[in-house]
Amino acid sequence: MAAPIGVEPIADGLSRTRGAEVDLAFRVRGSGPPIVLLHGTSANHAVWEPVAEALAPHATVIALDQRGHGRSDKPARGYGGRDFAADVITVLDALGLERAIVGGHSLGGRNAWLVGALHPDRVRAVVSVDYTPYVEATVLDDLAVRVAGGYRAFPDLPAVEDYLRSRYPRILPGAVRRRARWGYAQRADGQWWPLAAPAAMQELIEGFRTPWDAEFRAVTAPMTSLRGADSRIVSADAWAAAIAERPGDRWVLVEGADHYIPEERPELLTAELGRLLAA
């Protein structure tokens, strides 16, 4: 019989599972009904910090570093949709939690609906931010190039922040600082490098080419989807195709935002998750 998966504290207030096939880092805030939050490609748990802080008086908010990112394990293989969905169940089990609202952005949005489809008894509701099964192959090609170009060394954290401001011009100043602090680490040579593993990023982007559209249709929990009106990832056509598949869902078009809604409009995500908490 396998030993139960444990939880251990690590530096800076984070925790990690202990004894899982892939151990995962996460931060827990608050108390009450659980909410699990999943970041996008090459990001980390801290993109959700303002949302988690706002919801902490009302919920137990668990923000993950998904596998291949941050302080979580970075296996050589295993970055398909089922792998990411299973990781959410690993964390819920380690914390002794039965059912949660699962929300995610981009990669995390895809993974949130997969948890809802593959583990319906563990999911109370799903929030998917700026991703659908119908993102075009040309968009994924471009994403792979941009993500690969971000794996580089920086002399110090201010240089990291300058780079992030240029790459994500609409995200809030605090979001830039959080991405730099939690997404990079200094190596022995003094240079700062991304914590997101480049091989993992390449494999998970290839995994996007599996649309998981049947699973998208199969989610039975209430689902809310959001799209930035200026998104470079979810086109108007990809958004319309998703709405046609699930017309009874809640669909929110966010004017004045691009792909990075959690870091541009955290108050909107707080409100959407709060609405589900109150349902």
Q: Which residues are tagged catalytic? A: 106, 130, 259
Q: Which two tokens stand for residue 88?
A: 């959410």
Q: How far apart are CA 102 and CA 204, in angstroms?
A: 20
Cα separation, 18 vs 6, whole angstroms: 5
Long-range contacts of 7-14 (CB under 8 A, 24+ apart): 7/94, 7/95, 10/71, 14/45, 14/65, 14/71
Burial label for 66, CB within 10 Å (0-12, 13-18, 19+), is buried
Question: Beta strands 100-105 and 34-38: pairing type?
Answer: parallel
- Compute φ and ψ for 12, nearest 5 degrees: 65, 30
CB 125 within 8 A of CB 150: no
Q: Which tokens go with 272?
A: 């959407």
Q: Do 99 and 34 contact (CB within 8 A), yes or no? A: yes
Count other C-beta atoms under 10 Å from residue 65's C-beta: 26
Element (H, E) at 225: strand 223-228
Burial class from Cβ neighbours inside 10 Å (0-12, 13-18, 19+) for residue 244 reads exposed
Please answer whether residues 35 and 122 qualify as being in contact, where contact means their C-beta atoms are separated by less than 8 angstroms: no
Residue with tokens 């792909």: 259
